[in-house]
Amino acid sequence: MPYCTGKNIEIARGKAIKMLVMEKKPVGLVADRFGVHRSTIWRWYKKWKKINNHIELNNPVRRQYLGVSPYKYEICKWIIESESSSPKYPHTLAEDLVQLVLDVRDQIKRCAEVVWHYINKILCINISLSSVRRILKRHHRIAKPKYHRNQRYKSIPRPKVLSPGDLVEIDTIHLFNPISKQKRYIYTVVDLYTRMAYARVYKELKPVHSLDTILEAEQYFGFNFKMVQSDNGLEFSRYFEMKLEAKGIQIRHTRLGRPNDNAHIERFNRTIQEECTGNYYLETEPLKSMDNKILSYIDFYNYKRIHLSLEYRTPAEMLHRLFSYAW
């Protein structure tokens, strides 16, 4: 018969064990009889032994040893109850300790880690960090994280790059001085079609510097920009967008956490750091001197440094070739 699923489950388990130990039926036969697996029969048998552990029964390692004296069966329990699947909390925290965690949270208004540190180190009360988190979460003292959309700005589709200026990428490099703890910022620009590059260095990270770099790069390259692509940094905020749109230049932002969207400018940033600026700057180096060094490297990069992607041409040669064909 199939294994029953009603209130007679506990009785059915006892009948299966009786067939096993009293009638000496094989485990496979008992399993087929009740529609369960062999391992289930042995699991029921272990529970039955645990229930009747006060009775001296032989250890049924083999089937021939399953039988015991009939009088011992009379005092055995044959109802194998189901174990509750509800969670058990043998180490439930005391109510006063739970209230203490809530009071500390309301007093200092900090995260679970700070509350846990305050209770353990200052109040010298031993409690785990997981317990503090669980208490605060259960009593709604931890705010749920706000999930934002993947885009900070509404992005427009990426255009096909068929001519100079169709898509220009802009980015910033942060240079750090380990002694003064100050930073300098290199604004870099790359045209995807010709690979023409431009860069300037500033002391501050501002949208106005991003705008100045784009306008200088457009004049340096010698052709108009149709679309500029940037990441979601503050230096490319709404002011930067409005000024470009006023000049007829579209702005496109990359996806959050996707630096590969700006792969060309990211690779140029690595190149200029490896070949010109490095990852740090010296306090003794004036800003003007550093800017002139970068502009000299830009001339070298555009007019003398060949590119494999341009079939061993320089960006300037690529641009000159296009203008020659157009002429």
In a shared domain, residues 174 and 321: yes
Give the strand pairing for 183-191 and 227-230.
unpaired
Number of domains in the chain: 3
In a shared domain, residues 108 and 224: no
Answer yes or no: is 82 within a domain: no
| Torsion sign over Cα 149, 109, 125, 89 | negative
In a shared domain, residues 182 and 271: yes
Cα separation, 221 vs 36, in Å, equals 79
pLDDT tier for residue 114 given thresholds of 50, 70 and 90: confident
Q: Distance of CA 118 to CAs 21, 35, 99, 241, Å? A: 60, 57, 15, 47
In a shared domain, residues 129 and 263: no
In a shared domain, residues 129 and 176: no
What is the number of other CB atoms lying within 10 angstroms of the CB of residue 120?
15
**Domain of residue 58, residue span:** 9-74
CB 180 within 8 A of CB 280: no
pLDDT tier for residue 213 given thresholds of 50, 70 and 90: very high
Q: Which residue has the higher pLDDT, 201 or 60?
A: 201
Tokens at 129, concatenated: 């960090």
Write down the residue that tokens 């068929």 correspond to.
162
Proportion of the chain above pLDDT 70, given as a percent? 82
Cα separation, 6 vs 35, in Å, equals 15
Answer yes or no: is 61 within a domain: yes
Element containing residue 176 per DSSP (H, E): strand 168-176
The answer to which of 49-58, 147-156, 190-199, 254-263 has the lowest mean pLDDT is 147-156
In a shared domain, residues 316 and 186: yes
CB 119 within 8 A of CB 101: yes
pLDDT given for residue 237 in this prediction: 87
Residue 82, pLDDT above cutoff 80: no
Tokens at 66, concatenated: 């399953």
Q: Which residue has the higher pLDDT, 143 or 326?
A: 143
In a shared domain, residues 127 and 258: no
Tokens at 7, concatenated: 């209130």
In a shared domain, residues 120 and 52: no
Answer yes or no: is 155 within a domain: no
The answer to whether the predicted template modeling score (pTM) of the entire model surpasses 0.85 is no
